[in-house]
Every structure is written in C-alpha cells, then in structure tokens.
Amino acid sequence: MGSLTKGTNFPAVLSNEMLNLVRGKSSLARLSEQKPLPFVGTDVFTFNFDKEADFVGEGAAKGVGGGTINPVQIRPIKVEYGMRVSDEFVTAADEQRIGYLRAFSEGFAAKAARALDIGAMHGVNPRTGNASALIGNNNFDAVAVAQSQVVTPTASANADVESAIALVTGHEHEVTGMAMSPGFRSSLASETRQDGTPLFPELGWGSQPDVIKGLPVDTNSTVSFNSSADKAVVGNFRDFFRWGVGKDITIEVIQYGNPDNSEDGDLKGHNQVYLRGEIYIGWGILVPNAFALISGEA
C-alpha cells in the first residue's frame, strides 16, 4: 500500500537522478516572517493601550488610562510523512541513496509547507481533511467567524477584496498581504473596466504576480483546500501572524517493524525499508481582527 517496489515503480537499479514531482509551498510563510520557536513552544504577549492619550492642564488631575495584555500560545505540532521502499535502497551505492534521500527531503519539505497553510487556515489534518484537536481554534477560519471578519463573495472579486480590507482597516490595522485561491485569482483576472480592458492585466494567462496594486499576494490551492468555500485571506501577516520551527527536519531510514501501522505488515518480511520525515511547526494568530476572510458562494 503506497510502497515503491522493484520491477513496478521502483527501478531494478537505483539511480542518483530523480525528478521530484511533489509541489507545495506556504503562502503564510511567504507573507509573514519566521521567528525562532523553542521546542517546548512560546507565549507571545500582545500589549494594547485601551484609550487615547490625555491632554492635562496646569495643575489639573490626570485621567485613567489603562492597558490590556493578552498571551497567545504558540506550540509546535509534529508534521510527519513516510513511505515504504524496496530494501534495494539499503544496498545501493552512497551517491544513489543520497539522490533518493535528497528527493524525499525536498518532497517532504513541500508537504510540510502545505501542512502549515492547511492547518493555520482551516484547522484540519491535511491527510484526513478532518478538524484537528491539536489545532483547535488556532486557524483563520475559526477566528474570522468568531470576530465577524468574514466577507461573503459578490459578483465582483475586486469589491470583495476592498470589503475585506475595510474590515481590517476598520480596526486600525494595516493590510500587508493576501493569500488567495486559484479560482479567486481567476475571478480577479476576469474583471474588466467599463471599456472592456482587464482591471488586472498582470493576472492575464495564468500569471501569478507577487504584488498586485502594491499589495503582496500569493496564490495557493491551500486556501481552498478540501473543497473549502474560502476564496482569500487578507490582513497584517507581517506583524500579527507568527510561525516557527521547533526542530529541524529529520529524515529516518527504518528497516524493521511496521512503522506506518500498515496492513502490509513487517518491513523485513516484505523486503522493504521505510523513509520517514518529521518536523515540528508552530504558529499563532496574534491579533484576530487584523485579518479578514472572503468565504462562501457568490
């Protein structure tokens, strides 16, 4: 089940050349900034002045100020991917094994990047598509609904973006980026001016620019993952979305047992070894109303 075996899709002679077809990236990582994350996690405190400053006259009494401090927990979650391969891998030349391990590492890194987006955007386990208790409400779908920061799509994708920006700036936050689904990118590309010319010519023919009208953007299928109705997430990713890695990627070659709890059973009994990649990733949405979600059906 999902294993690479000699004579079918695993070559009879291992080569050190592999074309990695795994595709994946993180829009959230591109739009925000990675911060060092201890393996045990960290707490980030948001500090807010609740009132405006006070002009005080000569000899007059000073008024009540006040502030609010809120902790946001960022805890790393293990991200794992593995596969069975023929035990020919063990006896191959070093450079051939290195080629396979390099390709596996690159593929796993792409899957981990997608996992960051899928978890932080939707709160689901990427493999099952089901809500993850490990993530809970630490995701944009949940916080946007809780904060009433959701825009229902209309016939104009451009107007929807403006509405989402208005929700964010209405709370006096800056908008630093937008992650959007491929379908929403196409909707923006099809918008025209009154004379029929494209409103966003830079989106023509499937182009995916990094900036639109001065706003950093990224297009990714993770936004609409698992048939989600989400079209785009807009907000201050630079200042108020934090993520980090608790440990570096580890790649392990397992030669015994049943590490994936597969019905295929024992590795040794089936002339197989198991490649497993693991990494710990954590994230936090520091200020929920600094983001808005475009979600639903027009």
174-196 pLDDT per residue, tens: 999 999 999 999 999 999 999 99
Per-residue model confidence (pLDDT) at position 4: 47
Write the CATH number for 130. Answer: 3.30.2320.10
For residue 14, tell me if it sits in a domain: no
Residue 149 lies in a domain: yes
**22 within a domain of the structure (yes/no):** no
Among 46-55, 81-90, 166-175, top mean pLDDT goes to: 166-175
> What's the whole-number mean pLDDT along residues 132-150?
97
pLDDT range class, residue 22, cuts 50, 70, 90: low
Which domain covers residue 93, as residue numbers?
A: 27-49+71-295
Number of domains within the chain: 1
Query: How many Cα atoms sit within 13 Å of 56 on the Cβ side?
Result: 10
Residue entry with tokens 């990427």: 126
Instruction: Please indicate, yes or no, if residue 11 is contained in any of the structural domains.
Output: no
214's CB contacts (< 8 A; 6+ apart) are: none
Once rounded to an integer, what is the mean pLDDT over residues 151-163? 97
Q: Name the pLDDT band for 24 (thresholds 50, 70, 90).
A: confident
Please give the angle made by the CA atoms of 200, 204 and 207, to the nearest 5 degrees. 105
Give a yes or no: residue 279 inside a domain.
yes
Residue 144 resides in a domain: yes
Q: Is residue 208 part of a domain?
A: yes
Share of the chain above pLDDT 90, in %: 57
Nearest to residue 239, comparing CAs of 46, 25, 101?
46
- Is residue 7 one of the residues assigned to a domain? no
pLDDT score at 35: 82
**Does residue 2 register a pLDDT over 80?**
no
Per-residue pLDDT, 13:
46
pLDDT bucket at 21, cuts 50 / 70 / 90: low
Look at residue 152 and tell me whether its pLDDT is greater than 70: yes
Comparing CA positions, the residue from 90, 101, 130, 113 lying closest to residue 24 is: 113
Kindly report, residue by residue over 80-134, the tens digit of the pLDDT. Answer: 999 898 888 777 777 777 778 888 888 888 999 999 999 999 999 999 999 999 9
Cβ–Cβ under 8 Å, residues 292 and 168: yes
